[in-house]
Structure 1
Amino acid sequence: MESRSMPVPDVDDGPDFSKLESTIVTSNIELRPISRDGQHIQRHADAADTVVNELDYDYEIDPDTYPLSTIHSVQDLFSCVQYHEHVCREQNFDVKTRLECLSVDCSGAKWMQLDEGSLKDLLDNAASRCIDMPPISTRPMSQSTTTRKALMFLIPLTPASKITTSYGNTLPMTRTSITKLFSSLQVNPAFIQNLLGRPDYWAPQGRWDEEDGQFLCCDFWCQHPRWNLQVQGAPLSVYSKYDAQKDLTVYLVSHKPNDTVINSLRKQLDSLVQHPAQYHISDVLLESPYDLHVMISNLNMEGSKWHVERFRRFQWKAVNDVDDHLAGKGQHDRKKLASLLKTLQIVSQNSDSHLANAQNFLFTARAILDSATKLDVSRKRRIRQRTLDMLRHLIESMEKQHMWFLNYKSRKESVMNLVFHFGQQTDNLNNIELSADMKRDSTSMNAIAGLTMIFLPGTFTASVLSSGIFKSEAGARGFQVTGLWWLWLVITLPITLITVLSWWFYRKRKEKTMQPVQLWFKNDEPDQSVTDTARKASVVHTFKGYMGKRRKTGTRKSNYSAI
């Protein structure tokens, strides 16, 4: 007889599997309904969420207009788009220009009241300013300060409709004046949002321009925290730029009306403007370009102390009220306990807000310190050193205040947990008393049920016998059944049947309403054929990788292959 040898499987044709592995590969694993529902990509989406355009801007910008006409990096492209978006909204601007500007030069400092015409003349003069000096390095300078100039614009924001404006504020300037201000001074277009009163506290931002190792200019802008939690308004936004080619320092300060920091800053600057030694005052104001940043930060921290002290008194009053309540000095009722919890919740919210303000202050102050340390263009080292020392003092002071806020928050949490556990203990005692009352009521009900079982058969029998269905005459030993028995059955049986059926339908309806609610996309079943094919391919791919590892490690190959 001719012998037949078993065919040798082709290794190159695909991986080899054992018989058990082959059966696993060809088996379909059905997904549970909850798994299919959980993989639906729109299981939490509303109809409006599918058509949201988060970057809905007008990207068609004239390349001959600022800031696209002077762009130096692709990182500024989106800033140009945002600038164009906000500047094109007419409701963000007023019909005329009214500004205050502090001008400082070698002759001294003075306040200027600007309208559209005088602002244009001032900006034209600043734009054409050139002191014929090459780009300077960031090393200390030895020249005098006779050529340096500084301009600080105070821009109060007027509250307006949040629907028609970008951020609910209107600038006291025309659209033409804003365009002239940004283009003449080459203001970073990304600052337009902070200038309009953007409420979000984003990180401080700066830009540093150098060419062939030579410093050209730098700018920096930030937002300072609002410590008054009861009255908000537009945040205090500050932009600064130092242009080495023009030896010009520019400040743009956007603030809400009657901002306490700006009012204090203006009064301090008034005293300098009225100082008799104007040449000395010009050196004080011009030597360190970041001095005004530090002054505003210092005033912001000093203003925070009043609100921090107010918060501290409010918190300790709440803690003392809790102590008095637990000591039995007040009424132990749930209304008082709810009032204490509400007060502690307000303390918690205020504590979180002040912690966020402290962190925002630290972010801003550290960014100012980094920029001020990097920009070293002062001729008099003493003035610059005092600027840096004040910044370090502000940072360390706010870090300590931040530490105290964390301590206040931990104390508040301890007191709140104490009140919460006290309320739980009160509820537990009430539950124990309620359980005892229910037990007593249950005992009484059992006694009533026992008496009912004793007297109910006799009561039922007496009722039937006295209904006239059975009739017995005096002296007779038997009784007769009258014609009323069928009437009793006709009335009693339907009423009993209706009562039982009504109870049964009520139970069924209640069970249906208590069933779990199905997901709205339960009928959106995926294509089963596609799902099975993909699942099978995934399992095959997994076993291919597994068998590949076996071949690499020298494991014996199987004589079975997957089909």
Structure 2
Amino acid sequence: MPIHSQYPFSLPSYCSGLDDGSFCQRELKEESRSWRSEKYAPVSNVMVLEHDHGVGSARFYDDGEMDQLLAAEHQPQLRIILLQPTPQEKLLHTIDDPAVLKALLTNELISDRVTEPANEKVPDQREDDVPSQLDITRSCLLKILTRYDIAPAAASHIRGQEQIFGSRQQRDEEGKMRSFEFWYAIRARAYVRRLGKEADLKMTIVTRYDARSQSTLVLLKYRSFNDLPQRLHEELVENLQAFVREPTTAALVKNPFITSVMHFNPTIQYFRRAAREPRDTIRDEEARVHGGMDEFARIDLHKLHLTLTSLDQDKIQMSFILGVIARLRIQHETFQTLVEGKASVPEREWLYFRMEEEFDRFENQIAYFKSSVEDVARRVERLLELLFNMSSRINTQSSTKMTKYAMHESASMSTISVVTMLFLPGTFIATILGTNIIAGPSRSEGDTPGHSELYISSQWWILLVLTVSLTVVTMGGWYMLRRKTARSIEHMISAQNAV
């Protein structure tokens, strides 16, 4: 069985008490069931960039060429192995909205180069297959990890979603420094509001410095869920190619932290460009708030909430980058002391001070852009609060109008009730007139002569007393019931206000 297939258990530096080999093998397993772990390529086509004493090169290697490269005894000053998996989603070729393309180009999130259309789906591909695929075979990747004795803890960064900072130093039997390793991952992200998508690029950087040969291996991986971070990806690759081909790079690669520095500036500028759209969006929405009811109705609360969520993610990533820079400065200090043997600051070379100056600049830039993002987030929060207050005010005004309308209706009903009660006694009297208490004129019937007089019973006063009494009782009962109802309503309102 090939030795690389047993990685990491086959490493001479493997320590069962400290290294979790089983977890490492699970991370690097052959199969892939989700977008978090890319598929391996059937054939390797990996970009390798090298620089050795003023001479640089950059080209793609297949499996056979990688075997020859790893078997060579001579190691260049700097070797960068760049992994570029395909994105899970290919969106650029599907965007046909000119406004969306203009926003992406204006904010410099994509380049104006013609993008290739997405590959059509293979007919026999299963629906649950993972489209994202590495440009290296599993066997070739394990050979690289074994050849350079890469720490097992870095495996979850190479094929996974880890962003934890890690480091390891190895010494020989005499106690001299043999290798110096550190690894981490940072994300550059932007939220494209018009698409409702995130343009997120993860940069994994695994660096191993060999103290004996004074050579550095950097294993890089640029991975994004979709192809929206096109410009940043191209910019990073172009910077690497220009760096290894520059003759003066020979003096810079003596410091293994140089490749880390190269990734911070494009990442920071990406955050700066990405912050333009949320800022412009909030400015437009703030203007709509004061533009009348028609403009107010056009505000999309759902997108505002998504924008706020994205800004919160930006703050998290920027805070993490600040933490990475702080950890790199600690490791840089350790490298100068343990590897270079220069514990005293005045003894150190100019490159150390230049690196520290760059770290200072990056920290200040990230801190500034983070405060800018926090300001935009606060504006979104204030806007959402204002929208809530205005909505409550509109609802209150609407409720007031409905209350006034109900009061008018209630007054009308009260008037009708009063009129009805006033006529009720008379109606009652008219009914009584049909009784025998009062007899009116009558016509003759047969032998009985008729009469034209109005005969009133001697007990007519009973009708008058009853009519007046019933009227007073009816009006009094209505008045008392009305007062009782009013007191009940006032009591309920007071109880609600007290709560």
Could you tell me how far 1:118 is from its partner in structure 2? 0.8
- Structure-2-length-normalised TM-score: 0.65
Structure 1: tracts of 5 or more residues without a match: 1-61, 130-146, 466-473, 478-563
1:47 counterpart residue number: none
* 2:37 maps to 1:66: no
* 2:235 maps to 1:264: yes
For 1:225, what is the secondary structure of its paired residue? strand
- Structure-1-length-normalised TM-score: 0.58
| 2:188–2:202 Cα contact (<8 Å) kept | yes
2:278 to 307, 311, 315: 311
| 1:157–1:170 Cα contact (<8 Å) kept | yes
1:426 counterpart residue number: 394
For 2:168, what is the secondary structure of its paired residue? strand
1:113 counterpart residue number: 60
Change (3 A) 1:63 1:193: closer
Deviations 1:95-126 (A, max 9, x none): 1010110122235221132110110111122x
Distance, in Å, in 2 between the alignment partners of 1:192 and 1:336 is: 51
Deviations 1:288-345 (A, max 9, x none): 10101111111211222211233322222323333xx1xxxx3325x72461645643
Instruction: Give the AA of the match of 1:414.
Output: R
| 2:278–2:376 Cα contact (<8 Å) kept | no
* 2:169 maps to 1:208: yes
Change (3 A) 1:255 1:269: closer
2:45 to 60, 73, 98: 98
| 2:187–2:200 Cα contact (<8 Å) kept | no
Deviations 1:227-267 (A, max 9, x none): 22234355221211112234331111111367534422332
Distance, in Å, in 2 between the alignment partners of 1:240 and 1:206 is: 9
- Aligned-residue CA RMSD (Å): 3.5
For 2:207, what is the secondary structure of its paired residue? strand
| 2:86–2:133 Cα contact (<8 Å) kept | yes
> Which is worse superposed, 66-75 or 376-385?
376-385
Distance, in Å, in 2 between the alignment partners of 1:255 and 1:239 is: 12
Change (3 A) 1:273 1:121: same
Instruction: Give the AA of the match of 1:208.
Output: Q
After TM superposition, the structure 1 = structure 2 runs for residues 286-365 of structure 1, keeping only pairs within 5 Å, are 286-322=253-289, 325=290, 330-332=291-293, 336-337=296-297, 339=299, 341-342=301-302, 344-365=304-325
* 2:143 maps to 1:180: yes
1:159 counterpart residue number: 87
Distance, in Å, in 2 between the alignment partners of 1:169 and 1:157 is: 6
Distance, in Å, in 1 between the alignment partners of 2:77 and 2:137 is: 25
Could you tell me how far 1:158 is from its partner in structure 2? 1.5
Distance, in Å, in 2 between the alignment partners of 1:152 and 1:408 is: 38
| 2:7–2:25 Cα contact (<8 Å) kept | no
| 2:52–2:250 Cα contact (<8 Å) kept | yes
Could you tell me how far 1:404 is from its partner in structure 2? 2.5
Change (3 A) 1:122 1:162: farther
Distance, in Å, in 1 between the alignment partners of 2:444 and 2:268 is: 113
| 1:311–1:350 Cα contact (<8 Å) kept | no
| 2:55–2:245 Cα contact (<8 Å) kept | no
After TM superposition, the structure 1 = structure 2 runs for residues 465-480 of structure 1, keeping only pairs within 5 Å, are none
Change (3 A) 1:101 1:150: same
* 2:326 maps to 1:366: yes
Change (3 A) 1:80 1:382: farther
| 1:154–1:253 Cα contact (<8 Å) kept | yes
1:407 counterpart residue number: 375
Could you tell me how far 1:86 is from its partner in structure 2? 3.2
Distance, in Å, in 2 between the alignment partners of 1:370 and 1:85 is: 28
1:150 to 50, 75, 78: 78
Distance, in Å, in 2 between the alignment partners of 1:274 and 1:234 is: 25
> Which is worse superposed, 109-118 or 182-191?
182-191
Distance, in Å, in 2 between the alignment partners of 1:208 and 1:73 is: 17
Distance, in Å, in 1 between the alignment partners of 2:138 and 2:213 is: 26
Change (3 A) 1:415 1:265: closer
Change (3 A) 1:158 1:367: same
Change (3 A) 1:396 1:475: farther
Distance, in Å, in 2 between the alignment partners of 1:299 and 1:440 is: 68
Distance, in Å, in 2 between the alignment partners of 1:260 and 1:375 is: 34
Deviations 1:504-537 (A, max 9, x none): xxxxxxxxxxxxxxxxxxxxxxxxxxxxxxxxxx
2:154 to 184, 187, 191: 191
Distance, in Å, in 2 between the alignment partners of 1:106 and 1:374 is: 26
Structure 2: tracts of 5 or more residues without a match: 33-37, 89-125, 193-197, 343-347, 435-442, 449-499
| 2:46–2:62 Cα contact (<8 Å) kept | yes
Distance, in Å, in 1 between the alignment partners of 2:81 and 2:206 is: 10
Distance, in Å, in 2 between the alignment partners of 1:80 and 1:385 is: 41
For 1:69, what is the secondary structure of its paired residue? coil
1:86 to 28, 36, 44: 28
Could you tell me how far 1:475 is from its partner in structure 2? 8.4
The percent of aligned pairs where both chains have the same amino acid is 17
Deviations 1:33-83 (A, max 9, x none): xxxxxxxxxxxxxxxxxxxxxxxxxxxxx9992202332242312x53243
* 2:241 maps to 1:241: no
Could you tell me how far 1:400 is from its partner in structure 2? 2.0
Distance, in Å, in 1 between the alignment partners of 2:128 and 2:325 is: 34
Could you tell me how far 1:402 is from its partner in structure 2? 1.6
Instruction: Give the AA of the match of 2:395.
Output: D
Distance, in Å, in 2 between the alignment partners of 1:190 and 1:93 is: 20
Could you tell me how far 1:439 is from its partner in structure 2? 1.2
1:170 to 122, 129, 133: 133
For 1:229, what is the secondary structure of its paired residue? strand
How many equivalent pairs are there? 371
Change (3 A) 1:342 1:88: closer
Distance, in Å, in 1 between the alignment partners of 2:415 and 2:314 is: 64
| 2:189–2:271 Cα contact (<8 Å) kept | yes
For 2:188, what is the secondary structure of its paired residue? coil
Change (3 A) 1:223 1:271: closer
Change (3 A) 1:455 1:203: farther
2:181 to 219, 229, 248: 219
Change (3 A) 1:388 1:260: farther
For 1:414, what is the secondary structure of its paired residue? helix
Distance, in Å, in 1 between the alignment partners of 2:4 and 2:135 is: 28
Distance, in Å, in 2 between the alignment partners of 1:262 and 1:298 is: 13
| 1:97–1:174 Cα contact (<8 Å) kept | yes
Distance, in Å, in 2 between the alignment partners of 1:268 and 1:343 is: 35
Could you tell me how far 1:159 is from its partner in structure 2? 3.3
Deviations 1:342-398 (A, max 9, x none): 564344234323222321221222222222222124698112321221012101221
Could you tell me how far 1:433 is from its partner in structure 2? 1.8
After TM superposition, the structure 1 = structure 2 runs for residues 511-522 of structure 1, keeping only pairs within 5 Å, are none
